Amino acid sequence: MREFMYYITHAFYSATGWNEDNTYKELNATARELIDFPLPRGLRLTLSSLATPHFATSYQLGSVGIVDGSISYLHSTLPLTGIAAQSDRIPLPALLRSYRQLHDLGSGDRRQWYWGTEEPPAETAAISSTDGIPDRHGSSLFYGRLYLPRSLLEGLVIRRLTPDLQVQLSAVSERSLRNGGTLLGLAQYDRGKYGVEGLASTDGGLLGIRGLYNFGGDTSSTAATLPTNSSSSENNGGGQLGERERIYGRFSAGGEVYYGTLNKSGGMSLGARFATLPAHRGTPLTATLTINPLMGNINATYAVLARDYCSLATRMEFNVYSYESEWAVGMELWSNRRPAGFLLGADPNSQSDPDPGPPRRKERSFQAKLEWRLDDEESESEAPRREAKPAAARSGKEYRGVLKARLDQNLRIGLLWEGRVKSLIFSLGTGVDLRKLGEPFRSLGLEVQYSS
């Protein structure tokens, strides 16, 4: 489960029109979230509130043997009016969904991405319509969090300087750290077609730069105007997209270099990604390949949104120097039943036909395939348009829980079951080690979140 403050921070990104995904850091975010989702440990309660459009608080109380907690405050100079902050209204995919659809690269008029394939709530329409307010690019976000027994203080400042430039400054203060704390400065430059980030950390004098370049797909000149058109509706594309029924996606390639000026050490990596765009007709998929030439590490991931309620991901890692290899698979299964539905063995498919989701289209009719032509555009484009709206609206209500699972080469299983019970969002997770069947449960945790 994403934390409330994370959700608010990303709401800020979307309110300012910042494309958070257009950075090398998020290259394999989909597979990472599908496989490396964090398992809760112990009991954790979170009470959060977006008290005013400018101000949010969150209190957390946890118990893993000892009781600890944290207090966090967030202030945004930009009013976050369009945010569904109540825990009974937050769209679950925004908090829980791992598969990330690519979104449009337009640098000026970006839409909220994090709603995923769900239809954004009605209020966001107001945001997108008021995108043109002038002080949007000078807006800032301040965030502070104090962990209580440990006296660890976190601070974050995000400031949007220009439409293309954003600066982040994050700091941690704790007694046990060297010099009492660390500071990380991050300057992000996003031009849509490419995004560059420079960073500097006080810890070891680390300097780094990373960049991502997009090509193919919607970045090519012919398709450049399409996303903005489609974005006004439910990613439903015009008829021109019919030409791209085979595969329609975007290539991204990038790299990162780090150098610690004080400890005289460094690191680098290169990466590439192919991901289908929301307008793609077939199954949405994301494939990435990252290489660390210094350490000889090759990492390949493949994630697919097999159905709207089911995502799968695999990851393979291989080191050409040490011949060590790793694999892991992850899965995410959404349920539109009550949270107990999984235990009762309900098949979400049998209950109600899953809505195909906006990116998915009706298959070409068999007749049309035979004749090497497309279906009639009128009938084709009207049907999903009618269908998608109630489907999306229904799915927003109906998805009540998600089961995430992963398995790695050490036969360790992570299970996470998240959902909503009345107005509480819960997350129940456990780690199972199949190698040690005597005591298989390595961890068990429950997180409960309430926000108003």
Partner 1 sequence: MAFNFNWSPLTADAEFYKRARDLLTTALNKSPKPPIIVDDIIVTEFNLGSVPPDLEILEIGDLAEDRFRGIFKMCYSGDAFLTLKTRVQANPLNTYLSAKPGFTSPQPLAAASSLTIPLQITLSEIKLSAFIILVFSKQKGLTIVFRNDPLESLKVSSTFDSIQFVRDYLQRTIEGKLRDLMMDELPAIIHRLSLQLWCPDQMVKEDEEPKEVDEPGVNPLATPPLDAVDAHGHLLDPAAISELTLDGGPEAQLLFSQKTLRRLSDLTRSQVTSSLDTAAPGDVLFRAWAGQSDKDTNSPPLSTPNLARSSSYTSAHTYTFSDSGSQDHGSVPSRPSLVHLNSATAGLSLGSGRHSKAGRKKKTRVVNLRRKAETELGSEQGDETSETTSTGIPMSEPLMPHPILEVPEEDLVSGKVRFSRSPELSEQSRRPSMRGERPKAPDAQIPAAGINDSVTALQPPIQLSEKHRPQEVSKESGTIDSKADWRRSRPMSDTSSVILEQAWIMKMAGEIARRVYDEKMRNPQFWDDQDDTPPPAYEAR
Residues that bind partner 1 (CB under 8 A): 24-25, 27-28, 152, 154, 156, 170-172, 174, 177, 182-184, 199, 201, 203-204, 206, 208, 210, 256-258, 260, 263, 265-269, 271, 290-292, 294-297, 299, 317, 319, 321-322, 324
Q: In angstroms, what is the minimal distance from the CB of 297 to partner 1?
A: 4
Q: Which is nearer to partner 1, 265 or 352 (CB)?
A: 265
CB-based contact 306:60 (threshold 8 Å): no
Write down the least CB distance from residue 408 to partner 1, Å.
Answer: 14
Reading the block at residue 308, the tokens are: 């709207």
How many residues comprise the chain?
452
Which CB sits closer to partner 1, 210 or 337?
210
The CB-of-317 to partner 1 minimum distance in angstroms stands at 8
Query: What are the angstrom distances between the C-alpha of 388 and each of 155, 249, 355, 360, 381?
Result: 42, 22, 8, 10, 11
Contact between 101 and 116 (Cβ < 8 Å): yes
Query: What number of CA atoms fall less than 13 Å from residue 324's CA on the CB side?
Result: 6
When the beta carbons of 32 and 337 are compared against partner 1, the nearer one is 32
Residue (201 or 228) nearer to partner 1, CB = 201
For partner 1, the closer of residues 124 and 290 by Cβ is: 290
State the minimum distance, in angstroms, from the CB of residue 200 to partner 1.
Answer: 9
CA 292 – CA 269 distance, rounded (Å): 4
**Nearest distance in Å: CB 1, partner 1:** 17
Q: Residue 5 or residue 78: which is nearer to partner 1 going by CB?
A: 5
| Nearer residue to partner 1 within complex by CB, 296 or 440 | 296
Question: Closest approach of Cβ 256 to partner 1, in Å?
Answer: 5
- Residue closer to partner 1 (CB basis): 202 or 228: 202
Which of 252, 336 has the CB closer to partner 1? 252
CB of residue 222 vs partner 1: minimum separation in angstroms? 31
Which one, 15 or 27, has the nearer CB to partner 1?
Answer: 27
Q: Are residues 425 and 87 in contact, defined by beta-carbon separation less than 8 angstroms?
A: yes
Q: By the 8 A CB rule, do 229 and 210 touch?
A: no
Whole-angstrom Cα distance, residue 164 to residue 137? 9
Question: Whole-number minimum distance, CB 321 to partner 1, in Å?
Answer: 6
State how far the Cα of 234 lies from the Cα of 115, in Å rounded to an integer: 11
CB of 19 to partner 1, least distance (A): 17
Question: What's the min distance (Å) between Cβ of 327 and partner 1?
Answer: 15
CB of 15 to partner 1, least distance (A): 23
| Residue nearer to partner 1 on the CB measure, 77 or 170 | 170
